[in-house]
Amino acid sequence: MAGTVYLNGQWLPAAQAQVSVFDRGFLFADGVYEVIPVYGGRAFLLDEHLARLQRSLQAIGIDGNDAPSWPTCIAQLIAKNKLEHGTVYLQITRGSSNQRTHLPTGSLQPTILLMTQSAPLHWGTPVPAKAALLEDIRWLRCDIKSISLLGSILLKQSAQEQHAIEPMLHRDGTITEGAASNYFGVKNGVLYTAPANHLILAGITRNWVLKLARGSDIEVREEAFRVDELSQLDECFLTSTSREVQPIGRIDDIIINSGGCGPITQQLIEAFHNSKRHHLGMQ
Ligand code: PMP
């Protein structure tokens, strides 16, 4: 990430943006974030991302009242960086005091950072990839989009060692989500995904894909599928802002749909691309 960033009301070259060593984001990972997709120079599903940001802020008790107008700030950031396709990264920490204490003291001024990352826009079907089944070692408030990501990093590293693109996490015998994605399984024409509770981050892409599926008359059940059911899945895919809809052809040594992209996954990939086309056409 480079270019121009927004930091606490200022527009700065990335190399000149600095925060205090006492910032609670730096010392405690005491903050939340969002990653918002940008297609054709415009943020996609922005209202949904901003609503989730408010929920995260509220959950950890950061007052977002002094924040800038997000849609204006994001549009300015995109324009300043001439971003066509990519993502906006938005992070808010609780701010800094002049000593390191676990409990925040006094009224702190939150630290607000926005920056961009570019990515090519693709319209094809991604090659089905491998997921690694791993125990979910993270905390029990996965519904908060916290910048405290050590658990996710360790899990991603384990998955990478197994040549998998993403861990598939399980807790008490059921699949929760990925380290940075949500999982879907298809069985007998029914689409399953874990319910939106404290064990997962309900992805904006997850929710959008559920909406697309319901609009295509695909039967949807927000029920977690079990580890011992994985070998019976007809199809599997994951969703996230950066990966959109990614087919999964293999989970450890379990091959799904002969390792290919299944018909319902394909249908949802096309529906997702169509919704992007619609978004691009609205400019
Ligand atoms: N779960 C977790 C734990 C994540 O970190 C992410 C991506 N940030 C997701 C799911 C997918 O969310 P989204 O579709 O909003 O990118």
Domain CATH for 73: 3.30.470.10
Please tell me whether residues 139 and 271 are part of one structural domain: yes
Q: Where are the beta strands (DSSP E) in 81-164?
A: 86-93, 111-118, 129-135
* Nearest protein Cα to ligand 1, atom 8: 180
Decide if 81 is inside a domain: yes
Across 15-20, average pLDDT:
97
Which structural domain, as residue segments, surrounds residue 14?
4-118
CA distance 121 to 74: 19
Counting ligand 1 atoms within 8 A of each CB, the residue from 134, 153, 201 with the most, and so the one to mutate, is 201
| Ligand 1 atom with minimal separation from the 138 CA | 3
Decide if 124 is inside a domain: no
Please tell me whether residues 133 and 176 are part of one structural domain: yes
Q: How many domains does the chain have?
A: 2
Q: Where are the beta strands (DSSP E) in 3-156?
A: 4-7, 10-13, 31-39, 42-43, 86-93, 111-118, 129-135
Please tell me whether residues 133 and 270 are part of one structural domain: yes
Q: Which of 80, 130, 145, 211 is catalytic?
A: 145
Please tell me whether residues 220 and 88 are part of one structural domain: no
Question: Ligand 1: distance of its center to the CA of 100 in Å?
Answer: 30
Average pLDDT, rounded, for the chain: 97
Q: Which residues line ligand 1 (CB under 6 A)?
A: 35, 177, 180-182, 201, 203-206, 239-241
Question: Ligand 1: distance of its center to the CA of 240 in Å?
Answer: 5
In this predicted structure, the answer to whether residue 283 has a pLDDT above a threshold of 60 is: no
Domain end, chosen from 118, 148, 166, is at: 118
Question: What digits encode the pLDDT tens for the residues 34-82?
Answer: 999 999 999 999 999 999 999 999 999 998 878 899 999 999 999 999 9
* Amino acid at the residue 243: R
Counting DSSP H helices and E strands in the chain, the numbers are: 6, 15
CB count, 10 Å around CB of 42? 17
Please tell me whether residues 145 and 67 are part of one structural domain: no
Question: What digits encode the pLDDT tens for the residues 105-145?
Answer: 888 999 999 999 999 999 999 999 999 999 999 999 999 99
Please tell me whether residues 148 and 230 are part of one structural domain: yes
Please tell me whether residues 168 and 271 are part of one structural domain: yes
Counting ligand 1 atoms within 8 A of each CB, the residue from 168, 181, 212, 243 with the most, and so the one to mutate, is 181
Domain end, chosen from 98, 118, 138, is at: 118
Please tell me whether residues 108 and 160 are part of one structural domain: no
Please tell me whether residues 255 and 133 are part of one structural domain: yes
Please tell me whether residues 267 and 160 are part of one structural domain: yes
Please tell me whether residues 178 and 267 are part of one structural domain: yes
Whether 145 is a known active-site residue: answer yes
The pTM for the full model equals: 0.97
Please tell me whether residues 110 and 137 are part of one structural domain: no
